[in-house]
Amino acid sequence: MKEEKQGVIADIIFHNQENGYTIAVFETEDEQFTAVGNLPSCHKGRSYLLRGQWKIHPTYGEQFAISSFEEVMPSTEEGIEEFLSSGVLKGIGKKTAAAIVARFGSETFAVIENQPHRLTEIPGIGEKKAESVAEAFRSHREFAEITLYLQQFGINADYAMKLYRVYGADTIAAVQENPYRLAEDLFGVGFKKADKIAEKMGIARDDEHRIKSGIKYTLNYFAGEGNTFLPQNVLCEKAGGMLELEREKISDCLVEMAFQGDVHIENLENRNVVFLMPYYLAEQNVCKCMAAINSARLRPVGSDMDSLIAVTEQDTGIRLSENQKYAVKTSLNQGISVITGGPGTGKTTIINTMIRILQHSGLKTAIAAPTGRAAKRITETSGYEASTIHRLLEYYYSEGEDTMRFGKTAEDPLKQDAVIIDEASMIDLMLMNGLVSAIRPGTRLILVGDADQLPSVGAGNVLRDIIDSEYVYCVKLTEIFRQARESLIVVNAHRINHGEYPDYNEKGKDFFMMREKTEKDMLRTIKDLCVRRLPSYYTQLLPVRDIQILTPVRKGLLGSMNLNKELQEALNPPREQLEEKKFGERIFREHDKVMQIRNNYQMKWKNQEDFTEGEGVFNGDVGFINRIDREFNEVTVVFDECKYVTYDFSQLDELELAYAITVHKSQGSEFPVVIMPMSWFPPVLATRNLLYTGVTRGKQAVVLVGSEDKLRGMIDNNRTKERYSGLKARLKALLDFSFSAKEG
């Protein structure tokens, strides 16, 4: 049965700054009791009216479980002084609080709120400080009112604070006007949460705000699955099913959204399709820019290409095959070209040869890749400085627009004569849009990648669409070179890609299969490999740094989430000298391997090698926890061995453990040793190209653990999940148009 209790916080046993969860001792005139629940910015001496009920905790006994609360501002001079000095208003300590109350008595709050200039009557308080105290007090009162209002809709203090940061004093008005805005404006508040709030507010199920938000949510959800559009009938079916509304209502709202410019509807390849506007504009612009780059006149490379190749062969001691020479010569004569092939087919040799020829010809060249790890690998293998595409395009965070922008654009393009992009299969549509927008016609764009790997994590199927459209020149490398043929990893990758079963467990080779029947046995073997067997065989191996478990799934016994818990316990167990921090269900510990799970363009980093500084940590970046500082509530993570990034405890939702990661997250990376479980996984994930992508991540060794039948089942399953993308169709239309123009 619900009760009300009013009291003052006498002691705080526990307070979580991230979500406001608190265990506190309250005092009333005639009793003390323990209360548990959400209380933001909790301080001793603060008075609250609590609503909730008594519960018996098996260990701690009777507690008052808070369901909602309301702050009660103190009315006595002693209470006012306690409030002012509690830390709520920064800059006011005990002495200043006592001086303010001595001067204004019970009118103190009225003075701060309505006549803040009078605070300057207190020695040590100038105009600036008086205004900042008044502003802090107003914010505190506003937030208290907002929290109280939002509680009735099940929005806890944590989300109330996030909303307040976005909308400020207008929070209540924004929620009342359209609660579905929360899903678009606030990270962590999805459509379903906003829908529950709207339901409690009494908003009708067929309200147009609800339908439009549901349509956007559906399109965004499928964009997260890699699609740049949805067929209109599929969208109406999916959105209608989720909203539990007739398809006609969805269609009506969809037309209105198209008129308002929120979505774009067009007929593409004989079917009506619907784009979120940014993806439509990006596809259009990528095609326009590619057409301009591909048809422009180029600054010539040195007159005799064969001689330049011969000089490069002499300098490097590496002889190119006829196919490689052909790839170099033809690619350097195109505005845009693609070089694609599997491991061991000589893509790196071709890149290095092209760089040398371009430099010898006095043509300024940029080399880049989608991720920092891939860029670092290019630098190590080629000796030429490579960067991420984001850094090449000089990304920055636009505070006014609350989004990431590129400094290099059509108005201020890249100055290079050639741009070489490696690991191009990872490029999504929006990144490709930024890249081609910044390339001047007359610049060579050379895309290098393995089209048989998994497509980009972001929306689009860029490399595959470009190749399949036949709009640009493409070289496909198939020959595996002699040195690469020594590696079973390389040989088996190609066998898998051709639908053949791999060879393994050959003496002195690098590809192994550990047969286990049950998932429990697979888990036990994976842990044993990491802790004991692999480090004793490869003596230079550092298990946490050098062994990477790759799995198709996040959930389940062999999903990345459970594997991380098990491997953390095995490889970096709790020790007295290691600080740790619990965040929700996760525990972060010093020396843990972690991954950034969303792009944060504002996150600052410092390079301890060259003392440079910058901004931006990206989805998929892997690092190690260097330090957990409880005094300042900070976690320091080291990325790329030298980039130090400091996270506030409240930002830890951007990190997760990375002893095990999904194959999708591993793209663009190489690891000394890769371990992959072979068990039953959903058929949509247990595919040939997912296995191929995972295997090609291993450098020194690949170890498969589990069932040979499941391994063969993955190889037999060549079903690739179709992505809805319009780039191929648009490029084909460009090709048809250019043919027609030539014939005309």
Annotated binding site: 344-348
Task: Assess contact for 545 and 538: CB atoms under 8 A.
Answer: no
Task: Assess contact for 348 and 381: CB atoms under 8 A.
Answer: yes
Contacts 24+ apart (CB under 8 A), 530-538: 530/567, 530/570, 530/571, 530/659, 530/675, 531/570, 531/571, 534/673, 534/701, 534/703, 538/672, 538/673, 538/700, 538/701
Task: Assess contact for 305 and 329: CB atoms under 8 A.
Answer: yes
Neighbour-count burial for 220-236, b at 16+ CB within 10 Å, e otherwise: bbbbeebbbbbbbebbb
Radius of gyration (C-alpha) of the chain in whole angstroms: 30
Q: What is the largest distance, in Å, between two alpha-carbon atoms of the chain?
A: 97
Q: Quote the CA–CA distance of 219 and 216 in Å, as a whole number.
A: 5
State the helix-helix crossing angle for 247-260 and 232-243, rounded to 10 degrees. Answer: 120
CA 271 vs CA 179, 274, 634: distances in Å: 34, 10, 52
Cα 514 to its chain centre, rounded Å, is 33
- Type of residue at 3: E
Q: Quote the CA–CA distance of 676 and 526 in Å, as a whole number.
A: 9
Which residues make up each annotated binding site for ATP?
344-348
Task: Assess contact for 543 and 535: CB atoms under 8 A.
Answer: yes
- Type of residue at 637: V
Q: Quote the CA–CA distance of 64 and 741 in Å, as a whole number.
A: 79
Nearest of 482, 443, 448 to residue 463 by alpha carbon:
448
Q: Do strands 660-662 and 655-657 pair parallel, antiparallel, or not at all (unpaired)?
A: unpaired
- Type of residue at 700: Q
Task: Assess contact for 635 and 583: CB atoms under 8 A.
Answer: no
The β-bridge partners of 47 are: 8, 72
CA 637 vs CA 13, 472, 565, 626, 628: distances in Å: 29, 42, 19, 5, 9
Task: Assess contact for 53 and 98: CB atoms under 8 A.
Answer: no
Contacts 24+ apart (CB under 8 A), 390-397: 390/431, 390/616, 390/618, 392/366, 392/368, 392/419, 393/434, 393/435, 393/438, 395/601, 395/616, 396/601, 396/615, 397/601, 397/602, 397/615
End-to-end CA distance of the chain: 84
Q: Quote the CA–CA distance of 392 and 421 in Å, as a whole number.
A: 11
Three-state SS at 12: strand
Q: Quote the CA–CA distance of 390 and 15 in Å, as a whole number.
A: 39
Q: Report the number of secondary-structure helices (H) and strands (E) in the chain.
A: 28, 30
Query: How many CB atoms are closer than 10 A to CB 677?
Result: 28
